[in-house]
Structure 1
Amino acid sequence: MKFTVFLTGLLLLFLLPDWTESVEDTDDTVDINTLATVDINTLTRIINFFERNYKRVDTDGHPRQYATAINVPKDQCQQNFNLNTFLTQENAAIVKENITDETYALYQGEELIAAGTKKQKKYNMHSESLLLNPANNSPMTNLLNKRKDGCSVFYTFESPCVNTCLNASSKHNIIDALKNWKEHDGIKAFVFKDFWKFDIKKDLQTAFRQIVAHVPLFRCVSENECYACKGEGNTPIDEHCLPPKEIQLQ
């Protein structure tokens, strides 16, 4: 019996160094950027800032579609967010003037880009496409290149449309741009508020998973209420990020 215990002890001592080394090696391969996430309360404050400063509104008070994106130091997306140092290089009046002009509809600054909708002969160019296309040389590409490990947040007032923005066969889709954004280090968040009116009865569960496949998706519905949409792997999109079921069944 003593001899058996002695042999077992020797075997454990022999294996222990290799086991310890394998654990350490595994830890070394973890990319800490994959563990970083936006603070949900801070995200609420960021989106509220966008809505107060850049929101497009008609003379009758009706809100209009716009989108904006930032690439700021990581701490601006975490609990120590400081409004006094947030986007101080951008002039809100100029941003709003640019994105309201539907012949141009675009603003490109140091830490912020923004877009309204641009009039074309037969249709309006959507703000998401204006910021994210062409995928390899877009305003978003240039913005992300300015800070390789910054916190990047993309906000669109209305969710990306299913037939164009999230349709891989459309020349104006944003999917390739999302793939590129996925490779950017640091915190990432794709955020929307309302649903594109023509998509309310469509399969947004499937459509939104095309976003989640590349960057985390959030919905911010008010100045103090944001939700993580989830949808990673086999998990479903959270119900807060989908139209109410009674509306979809009408």
Structure 2
Amino acid sequence: MAEMDPTTLAKIIQYMQDNYQHSTEHKDKGQFAAMINVPVKYCTGRFDNNFLSGEMDSQTVKQLLKKDFVYEGGNLVLAIPKGAGKKAVHSERLLLMCGENGDAVTPARNLLNKVDGGCAVFYTYNSPCMERCLNQLRDEDERKKVEKERERNEKKGKNVEIPPAVEKCILNSLSMLTNHQGLKAFVFTRVYDNDIKGNTAQEIQDKKHLLAAALKLVAERVPLYRCSGTSCVKCLNDNQIVGQCLSNLPKR
């Protein structure tokens, strides 16, 4: 199968930033997630800025995002973060995982179903966060808490409906991209700041070590790239996450 062209990929990502990203001065610091599924020709040859010509104009799309948090088009889906604090729903989860309304088909899955064997690129401005998006243990702990609560109610003879734990880790959802038969990539531009901040050099190094392990789990499921400006770097090399994918460049 043909390889994703890094130069073309960089231009695709730049196009999505230029057209769909809200201000980096916003409280979400410009965070948004997007996914395209287009004919393979748009990812292997010279960049064609008409690759999303069937979508609404970008200003209309951004207005819809402000109101609905998710946009679903013909070859494009987008999301911005919804809510805040413990009730926050991250943009990656809005696209990859079932919605709060129990939707059977996620926006990303629905998009993959539209173009069989197409070029699928999932993009998030900030890398998925360690606290929720890449935290399998947190989801497991939540499931155990719910199960214990159900057991306590059963012992007390209480017939109380306990809602299932809400999964927030996106790793299992990446199987749809793993199984996708066309070209595919998972891309981010900036490393999520909280995942590499620390008070000492050792604390920062320890955080980067944990982040590398988590990003490797992504890269083992779908080719992982860091794209900024006119270039993209593949994050997994010789079975290790490269340094360029573990630290931030100056902001645009």
- The equivalent of 2:75 in structure 1 is 111
**C-alpha spacing 1:52/1:181, structure 2 compared with 1 (3 Å):** same
| C-alpha deviation, 1:63, in angstroms | 3.6
* Contact 1:99 1:117 (C-alpha < 8 Å) held by counterparts: no
The one-character-per-residue Cα deviations of 1:192-237 (angstroms, maximum 9, x if unpaired) are 0111121114221101011011100000122x12111125xx6211
1:89 partnered with 2:54? yes
2:239 counterpart letter in structure 1: T
1:209 partnered with 2:216? yes
**How many correspondences in the alignment?**
204
* Contact 1:54 1:95 (C-alpha < 8 Å) held by counterparts: yes
- The equivalent of 1:241 in structure 2 is 245
The one-character-per-residue Cα deviations of 1:93-147 (angstroms, maximum 9, x if unpaired) are 222112233xx31100000000001115743210000000029721000000001
* Contact 1:218 1:227 (C-alpha < 8 Å) held by counterparts: yes
Counterparts of 2:181 and 2:26, CA distance in 1: 42
Q: Unpaired segments of 5 or more residues in structure 2?
A: 140-166, 197-203
Find the residue that maps to 1:64 and give its secondary structure: coil
Query: Larger relative contact order (C-alpha < 8 A, sep ≥ 6)?
Result: 2
Q: 2:38 aligns with which of 72, 92, 99?
A: 72
The one-character-per-residue Cα deviations of 1:76-100 (angstroms, maximum 9, x if unpaired) are 00123322x3101112122211223
Counterparts of 2:190 and 2:233, CA distance in 1: 13
| C-alpha deviation, 1:64, in angstroms | 2.0
- The equivalent of 1:227 in structure 2 is 233
* Contact 2:10 2:228 (C-alpha < 8 Å) held by counterparts: no
Which structure 2 residues correspond to residues 127-138 of structure 1 after superposition, within 5 A? 127-134=91-98, 137-138=105-106
Q: What is the TM-score with the length of structure 2 in the denominator?
A: 0.75
* Contact 1:166 1:174 (C-alpha < 8 Å) held by counterparts: yes
Counterparts of 1:146 and 1:187, CA distance in 2: 15
Over alpha carbons, which structure has the higher Rg? 1
1:142 partnered with 2:107? no
Counterparts of 1:142 and 1:218, CA distance in 2: 23
2:128 counterpart letter in structure 1: P
Counterparts of 2:108 and 2:221, CA distance in 1: 15
Counterparts of 1:137 and 1:189, CA distance in 2: 21
Counterparts of 2:96 and 2:20, CA distance in 1: 18
Counterparts of 1:138 and 1:162, CA distance in 2: 22
Which structure 2 residues correspond to residues 1-250 of structure 1 after superposition, within 5 A? 35-57=1-23, 63-83=29-49, 85-91=50-56, 92-101=58-67, 104-119=68-83, 122-134=86-98, 137-169=105-137, 170=139, 171-200=167-196, 201=204, 202=207, 203-222=210-229, 224-231=230-237, 235-243=239-247
Identity across aligned pairs (percent)?
Answer: 37
RMSD of aligned alpha carbons: 2.1
Q: Unpaired segments of 5 or more residues in structure 1?
A: 1-34, 245-250
